[in-house]
């Protein structure tokens, strides 16, 4: 649609879309704020700090491959924040292939990653385009820590833990519910192994507290690192500071197995959304960086090496907004170093991404050689 606006923020009326717009404005990137409802986008844009001198345009678009292709033609990058991605991402990726546009999204769900990879990876690679899911706190930030560990030759196993303060937005809650339905995997001896269901374990924070964690959908890492010949084992466990959440996750899984899985697919989304609405009826307030902090730890081991990266991060949604905007900024100016289905660090480099997060005060990292 427009060379004047090289980036499209799809889902601009949402909590994350707004933060992507804020960081695009900060990086001086003109953008189209797109979504299904013009009025809601207008309201959201009014809440973006500094929006008065952003270069942007609002476009209402129907969620279909045809309409999205028309919108994207002439643009360079889409920042897709319309979730749950299992329901909507394939149409957006399909439109990107048709329009010749790089694709970024904020999904951390393994089944979405593998669907995008299998359906569109080859088409993106052939067209010289990037298909980069997880350009977000989960799991673009912990990936940075993992890749710092992999900088040490001989590391072949990645054991990751994350502790975060959750802000359940409307689509995030729907996404957690959606995720209970799909299998997830970890990487063991070069094979992806399926978790039997939600797997709980105890993790220890750097300050020595023990927290209940879960596989939380498996994370993106086993999918990324299954295609990295250096990595033999990769597993991640995630805990929330609000420890009640893991119990809710288990209750949901039980509800799914006992009742929900029998509901026909066409009606299931509506039932799940009603359940999500009971948890999160409306968009929560803006994040607070003094409250919403996360710690991501990766221990990388090999036969004779052990390396640990500890990453402190503040504001997972702010971080996501910046990562999307930074990635879009790079893709509109550069020939990407890799194309097709890729992780954020593969395309932008873990050191560069870390530098971007540090420059905004969103994250800091320590990397220690233990053995």
Q: Supply the minimum distance, in Å, between the C-beta of residue 258 and ligand NAP.
A: 25
Q: Which is nearer to ligand NAP, 1 or 170 (CB)?
A: 170
Specify the DSSP class assigned to residue 127.
Answer: T
Number of H helices, E strands in the chain: 13, 16
368 beta partners: 308
Name the 3-class secondary structure at 101: coil
Q: Which is nearer to ligand NAP, 6 or 17 (CB)?
A: 17
Q: Which is nearer to ligand NAP, 109 or 156 (CB)?
A: 109
Q: Supply the minimum distance, in Å, between the C-beta of residue 175 and ligand NAP.
A: 4
Q: Supply the minimum distance, in Å, between the C-beta of residue 17 and ligand NAP.
A: 5
DSSP labels for 8-40? Answer: EEETTTSHHHHHHHHHHHHTT--EEEEES-HHH
Measured at CB, which residue is nearest to ligand NAP?
A: 83
Residue 287: C-alpha distances to residues 13, 166, 278, 283 (Å): 16, 10, 21, 11
Q: Supply the minimum distance, in Å, between the C-beta of residue 347 and ligand NAP.
A: 17
Q: Which is nearer to ligand NAP, 26 or 42 (CB)?
A: 42
Q: Which is nearer to ligand NAP, 157 or 218 (CB)?
A: 218
Alpha carbons 102 and 197: distance in angstroms, whole number: 34
Show Cβ contacts of residue 136 under 8 Å, excluding neighbours closer than 6 positions.
16, 105, 106, 107, 108, 319, 320, 323, 324
Find where tokens 């009326």 sit. Answer: 13
Rounded to 5°, angle at Cα 226 from 221 and 228: 100
Q: Supply the minimum distance, in Å, between the C-beta of residue 71 and ligand NAP.
A: 12
Q: Which is nearer to ligand NAP, 108 or 344 (CB)?
A: 108
Q: Tell me whether strands 306-314 and 293-301 are parallel, antiparallel or unpaired.
A: antiparallel
Alpha carbons 226 and 237: distance in angstroms, whole number: 17
Q: Which is nearer to ligand NAP, 268 or 305 (CB)?
A: 268
Q: Supply the minimum distance, in Å, between the C-beta of residue 264 and ligand NAP.
A: 19
Q: Supply the minimum distance, in Å, between the C-beta of residue 63 and ligand NAP.
A: 4
Q: Which residues bind ligand NAP (CB under 6 A)?
A: 11, 13-17, 35-37, 40, 63, 81-85, 88, 106, 108, 136-138, 169-172, 175, 283, 316-317, 320
């Amino acid at each position: 649609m427009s060379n004047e606006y090289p980036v499209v923020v799809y889902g601009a009326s949402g909590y994350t879309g707004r933060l992507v717009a804020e960081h695009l404005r900060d990086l001086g990137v003109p953008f189209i704020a797109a979504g299904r409802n013009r009025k809601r986008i207008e309201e959201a844009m009014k809440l973006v700090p500094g929006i008065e001198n952003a270069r942007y345009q609002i476009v209402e678009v129907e969620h279909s491959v045809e309409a999205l292709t028309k919108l994207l033609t002439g643009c360079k990058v889409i920042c897709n924040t319309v979730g749950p991605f299992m329901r909507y991402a394939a149409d957006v990726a399909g439109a990107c292939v048709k329009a010749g546009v790089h694709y970024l999204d904020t999904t951390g769900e393994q089944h979405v990653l593998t669907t995008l990879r299998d359906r569109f990876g080859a088409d993106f690679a052939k067209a010289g385009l990037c298909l980069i899911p997880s350009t977000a706190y989960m799991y673009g930030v912990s990936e940075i820590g993992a890749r710092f560990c992999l900088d040490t030759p001989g590391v072949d196993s990645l054991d990751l833990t994350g502790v975060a303060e959750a802000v359940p937005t409307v689509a995030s809650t729907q996404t957690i519910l959606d995720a209970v339905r799909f299998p997830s995997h970890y990487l063991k001896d070069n094979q992806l192994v399926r978790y039997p269901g939600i797997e709980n374990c105890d993790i220890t924070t750097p300050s020595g507290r023990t927290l209940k964690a879960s596989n939380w959908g498996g994370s993106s890492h086993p999918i990324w690192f299954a295609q990295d010949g250096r990595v033999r084992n990769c597993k991640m466990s995630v805990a929330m500071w609000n420890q009640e959440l893991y119990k809710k996750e288990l209750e949901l899984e039980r509800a799914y197995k006992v009742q929900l899985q029998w509901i026909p697919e066409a009606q299931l989304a509506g039932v799940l959304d009603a359940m999500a609405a009971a948890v999160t009826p409306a968009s929560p307030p803006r994040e607070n960086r003094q409250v919403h902090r996360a710690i991501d730890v990766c221990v990388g081991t090999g036969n004779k090496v052990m390396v640990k990266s500890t990453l402190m991060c503040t504001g997972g949604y702010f971080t996501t907004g910046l990562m999307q905007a930074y990635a879009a900024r790079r893709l509109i100016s550069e020939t990407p170093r890799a194309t097709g289905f890729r992780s954020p660090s593969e395309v932008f480099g873990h050191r560069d991404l870390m530098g971007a997060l540090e420059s905004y005060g969103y994250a800091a990292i320590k990397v220690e050689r233990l053995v």
